Amino acid sequence: MHNILVVDDEKEITDAIEIYLKNQNYRVFKAYDGEEALAIFGREEIHLVLIDIMMPKLDGTSATIKIREKSTVPIIILSAKSEDVDKIWGLNVGADDYVTKPFNPMELLARVNSNLRRYTSYSNNKDTRENTIKIGGVELRDDSKEVLVDGEVVKITPLEYKILHLLMSHPNKVFSIEEIYEKVWKEPAYNPDTVTVHIRRIREKIEINPKEPKYLKVVWGIGYKFEQ
C-alpha cells in the first residue's frame, strides 16, 4: 500500500481528497501547513505528496524545497488557476507535476497513479541493468540510475533522469515537448508545460552555463535535443 501525504490549509479539500484516495486503497496522511507536512514526512514513509502552494506558517514551495533536500518522491502541486506563477515556481524548485483547482477527481487520481507508477518503476529498475551512456562530460549510468558531470554525481529526480535518458539515448535527435511528455509520462500530453520546467532544472545541474547550454539545446519552434 502506498502512503500519500495531502497538504492543504482547507480542511474540506484534504477531506475530499482523502475520500478519493482511500477508495483507491491508498493510505492518507493529512497536514494543514508546511511545517506540519515536514513533521509527518520526517516520521512516516511517504511515497507521494500532494501539496497546496498558499498556506500558513510554511508555504508549499518552501516545503517542497525542504522535501527535495531529503527525497525524490513525486510531489504534485495543487494550484488555483490564478496561481500560475506560483505553480511554475513550485515546479522549478522540485515538484514533478500539478493539478489545477477546482480539480476533477478522476484527473487527480490519474496524476497520482501515473506519478507513482513512474517512481515505482524507476526504483524497481535500479541495479538491474549495466548500461552507460556518455556524451562529453555527461555520463548516465542506467544500472544505478546516476548522472555524473565531469566525474561528479549530480542529484537528479526520477522524472529528470527519464527525460535525460530519452534525449541522451537519441543524441542530436529533436523531440517536441509533446513527444517528450508522452514518452516519459507514458500518457497523453496533459501538462506539457512541465517539460520546459524540467528541462530548465536539468540544465542547471549538467551545464556550466545553463543560459548557453553545451548539451541540452532548444530547437526553436520544434523542441529539444541532446547535442553530441
Q: What is the pLDDT of residues 196-216, one digit of tens each?
A: 989 999 999 999 998 899 999
| pTM of this prediction exceeds 0.95 | no
Sign of the Cα pseudo-torsion (170, 112, 202, 83, in order): positive
Closest CA to 6 of 69, 78, 58, 54: 78
Q: What is the pLDDT of residues 83-135, one digit of tens each?
A: 667 677 778 888 888 888 888 899 899 889 988 887 776 666 554 445 889 99
- Residue 101, beta-bridge partner list: 80
* Average pLDDT estimate for 1-25: 94
Q: What is the mean pLDDT of the chain?
A: 88
Q: What is the CATH number assigned to the segment(s) 3-124?
A: 3.40.50.2300
Q: How many residues does the chain have?
A: 228
Kindly give the residue spans of alpha helices, DSSP state H, lying in the chain. Answer: 11-23, 34-43, 60-68, 84-92, 105-124, 158-169, 177-185, 193-206
Q: What is the separation, in whole angstroms, between the first and last Cα of the chain?
A: 42
Model pLDDT, residue 21: 95
Domain extent listing, the chain: 3-124, 132-226
The class level of CATH for 132-226 reads mainly alpha
SS3 107: helix
Fold equal for 3-124 and 132-226: no
Model pLDDT, residue 124: 63
- Is the bond preceding 102 in cis, omega lying within 30 degrees of 0? yes
Model pLDDT, residue 129: 45
Angle between helices 105-124 and 11-23 (to 10 degrees): 60
* Average pLDDT estimate for 167-173: 94
Has residue 32 got a pLDDT over 80? yes
Q: What percent of the chain has pLDDT over 70?
A: 93
CB atoms within 10 A of CB 194: 24
Model pLDDT, residue 127: 46
Could you give phi then psi for residue 196, rounded to 5 degrees? -60, -40
